[in-house]
Amino acid sequence: MDTRSLHTQWIKEEALRLGFDSCGVSKAEFLEDEAPRLESWLKNRFHGKMSYMENHFDKRLDPTLLVPGAKSVISLTYNYYPEKLQRTDSFKISKYAYGEDYHKVVKDKLRNLVASMQDKIGSFQARVFTDSAPIMERPWAQRSGLGWIGKHSLLISKGKGSFFFLAEIITDLELVADQPFSTDHCGTCTRCLDACPTEAIVPDKTVDASKCISYFTIELKDEIPNEFQGKFEDWMFGCDICLDVCPWNRFSKPHAEPRFEPRKEILQHSKKDWEEITEHLFNDIFADSPVMRTKFTGLKRNLNFLKR
């Protein structure tokens, strides 16, 4: 086995040891097939008022603009599926936000992996990412053999479902690329499209984010349009509908990450408890949580919209 193969195999084993669920490698090159898709998505205004999505078009498609001399993209998945869920008579929070902010948790894991790699391999250039930079995570994960992109535009793994975060290491290390995941196992299933109450999932594995409940409850800073009144199905932060109905998520298993353990209030609070939340309680419950992104005023706006 040559050095590249040995390094690649060792990195995958070390990633699993550190808690990642899967790890694959693809060659760092321009995502030619994704360029027209991204251009069309932006042209159709599917990004709504997320104007930052219009920035760094070339960087989203070319990893060598993020790491000069990049040769490999290492893609990884990190499970967040919780063992316990919210009570049924509550306003809902997306499962990824039950515990500590994943940006911190997963980036800590990525930095630990890079440090281990440097100890093992020596000096090299690398940057780590998890939903925090202009990088097209799902195409890279598919190219790295980790799964296929479902009709809801999310990556699906046959053995793990889709309740996981994606992460990347772009590096100038030359590693052995995996075969892209070339088959689609959604078949004729349309459960995610049928279940979306705002019809945000459109053909060609695309989401019109400007109609997505997650967009309205997290990204949108203005008032939520009245035309979507009564369509949120009690989601006050994010939305898991397309994930919950996906048949492949019957394979999801509870995570083993202590920092993702749910805050007790998230599991125990009723609708009345959430309606009575104060800013002090909000800051206490959601310290170091992804929910801080919407701020107290944003969560109250969402709750007021749900109560109308």
Burial pattern 158-178, b for ≥16 Cβ within 10 A else e, equals eebbbbbbbbbbbbebebebb
E strands in the chain: 22-27, 72-79, 92-93, 126-129, 148-149, 155-156, 164-171, 201-202, 206-207, 235-237
DSSP-derived 3-state class of residue 142 = helix
Q: Would you state the structure tokens that stand for residue 2, as one six-digit string? A: 């040559």
DSSP-derived 3-state class of residue 275 = helix
Cα distances from 64 to residues 84, 111, 126, 127, 242, in angstroms, run 41, 20, 11, 11, 33
Q: Would you state the structure tokens that stand for residue 10, as one six-digit string? A: 């060792």
Burial (0-12, 13-18, 19+ Cβ within 10 Å), 149: middle
131 an active-site residue? yes
Distance CA 249, CA 148 (A): 14
Q: Which of 2, 119, 131, 208 is catalytic?
A: 131
Distance CA 166, CA 106 (A): 9
Helix-helix angle 3-17:102-121, to 10 degrees: 140
| Catalytically annotated residues | 131
